[in-house]
Amino acid sequence: MTCAPPPDAAAARGLSIRYPYAQADALGPLDFTVETGERVLLLGPSGCGKSTVLHALTGLLPSAIPATRTGRLQLFGADVDTRSPAEWADRVAFLFQDVEQTLVGFTVADEVAFALENRAHPPHTMAAAVAEAMTRARLPENWHARRIATLSGGQKQLVALAATLAQGGDLVIADEPTASLAPHAAHLLAECILAPGRTALIVDHRLGPLLDRIDRVVVLAPSGRLLVEGSVDKVFAHHGATLVAEGIWTPAAVRLRQKLQDAGHPIPPLWRVEDLAAHLPPGLDLAPFLLPPPCTPGPEVVRLEHADCAPPFGPVVLRDISLSLHAGQVLGIMGPNGAGKSTLAACLAGLAPPKAGLRQGPPGALAFQNPEAHFSTDSPRAELALLGLAPDRIARALGDWGLSAQADQHPFTLSMGQKRRLALALLTETDRWPVLILDEPTAGLDLRGAAHVAACLRALAQAGRALAVITHDADFALSVCDRVVVLAEGGIAAEGRASTILGDSAVLHSVGLAPPEVAPLLHRTTLVRC
């Protein structure tokens, strides 16, 4: 007698989804499965429908998010519509992308207990279950009664992880869970939800901590159809070029291999930096592939001298900051959550004058993390017209920023990449601001979007603007920044040439930052940078 194999944790056959008023399907038709005990990574470019798949899995779409779904979708062998999304919560745990907006409890214990309460878990064992989940997520015991509102973004993500662990579903669905986590926390999260034997479907751009724990990768094309699927090795080593061409995030080694191939240096299929190092042509200088082109710094444009920086009408968070921005140079601002990066940006831009010390230089522009903060009219065309541009110049700007097709669409209805491009266009299509500071400009963007932002930054620097970029992404910083400043504990922890700072793992680890994936190759860069 043989036991029947367990049903697939999730299975889709001919799944298509169309949002109201859309002319085309947002997704599909798509066939895929997540077998019980399998850990699947779902990848694809922005707007291909990754989050749509996750929302459809437990029926949130179309029950809570209006859309039309066709095709068959099953969870654990049963049609997803046989139960409500809330009822599926006993088997499926969902870790959302934006924990800031999805945590429900007032205290940490409330949050961790929430799903257990909804399942009518016996009260007398609930406290123990909450404590156990908190221990597994390495949350301090005294956080039990701590208010959620007092936690940083990364800490909230860990609380959300503890809540997911307490929920204990048979399938874990996670939408970009490592986005705002410090490196050690991202590894812990991967360890917890991608432990061997667990069933998980995860969407993430930050691949480093995940790939060793992934059994299969499913990649969606921009159309929302299946592009390629298979093991990590098969997808990244053998289809890396396709993924890069489609603007899909890949390990840094895949992108570098592609650049080397394009430059006439053939490298065998691989996806790990360590493997790449072994196949590099001897004596090859990697600087042109990893670092921005050399530049000659122009005159100083903005200077902070012994400045105490504070957010508008808030307390001082950075003390004794001395820093300058030069024309034609890009400064990277890095640091752990809560280090004061946005405060420094506001101070550099002149939006929050220092409480003590001095700021010298013209007013600058700050591209906010939420690009919607920049919009005040009902279309990209009208936004650009507000700058006083002539109609032909507006048309050209819309074309340059890839927004011609959306010229008359309401800015709030654009995709994240389009919103970010519009915000940048509004700040750069005028000569008003010689200083430009961008706060996390690649957040929510796919590889193509991030590459576009990087190219824009370098072009603006070449045109003589002084630029600063706040980013968590060390590989992005390495590719666009000439200098980097690392903030920690209310001051500057390190400052210097980007390749020097980002190649110093000890400095980065000491402030809880991850070095770039290509850090082991930085010794192969020889050009002198500005």
- By CB under 8 A, name the binding residues for another protein: 55, 58, 60, 64-65, 84-87, 89-90, 93-94, 96, 98, 100-107, 109-110, 113-124, 126-127, 130, 147-149, 163, 167, 311-313, 346, 349, 351-352, 363, 365-366, 368-370, 372-376, 386, 412, 432
Nearest distance from C-beta of residue 96 to another protein, angstroms: 5
Q: Smallest distance, Å, CB 311 to another protein?
A: 7
Q: For another protein, which is the closer residue by CB, 111 or 446? A: 111
Q: How many CB atoms neighbour CB 65 within 10 A?
A: 14
- Least distance from another protein to the Cβ atom of residue 308, Å: 17
Q: How far is the CB of 349 from another protein (least distance, A)?
A: 7
- Name the residue nearer to another protein (CB basis): 33 or 107: 107
Gap between the Cα atoms of 517 and 519, Å rounded: 6
Q: Which is nearer to another protein, 61 or 514 (CB)?
A: 61
Instruction: Say if CB 54 and CB 200 are below 8 A apart.
Output: no
Q: Which element (helix H / strand E) includes 342?
A: helix 341-349
Sheet holding 318-326, edge to edge: 318-326, 300-309, 356-360
Which runs of consecutive H residues, i.e. helices, occur in 227-337?
232, 239-245, 252-262, 273-279, 287-290
Which amino acid belongs to residue 59? G
Find the shortest distance in angstroms from Cβ 129 to another protein. 10
65/241 with CB nearer another protein: 65
The nearer residue to another protein, 202 or 502, going by C-beta atoms, is: 202
Residue placing its CB nearer to another protein in the complex, 131 or 295: 131
Contact 52, 74 (CB under 8 A): no
In whole angstroms, the minimum distance from the beta carbon of 146 to another protein comes to 11
Query: By C-alpha distance, which of 366, 261, 364, 307 is closest to 487?
Result: 307
Contacts of residues 237-242 at CB distance under 8 Å and 24 or more positions apart, as own/partner, are 237/269, 237/270, 237/271, 238/269, 240/269, 240/271
CB closer to another protein out of 284 and 373: 373
Bin 464: left if φ > 0, else alpha if -120 < ψ < 50, else beta.
left
Least distance CB 350 / another protein (angstroms): 9
Edge-to-edge, what's the strand order for the sheet holding 171-175?
92-95, 171-175, 199-203, 39-43, 216-220, 226-230
Rounded to 5°, angle at Cα 205 from 202 and 208: 90
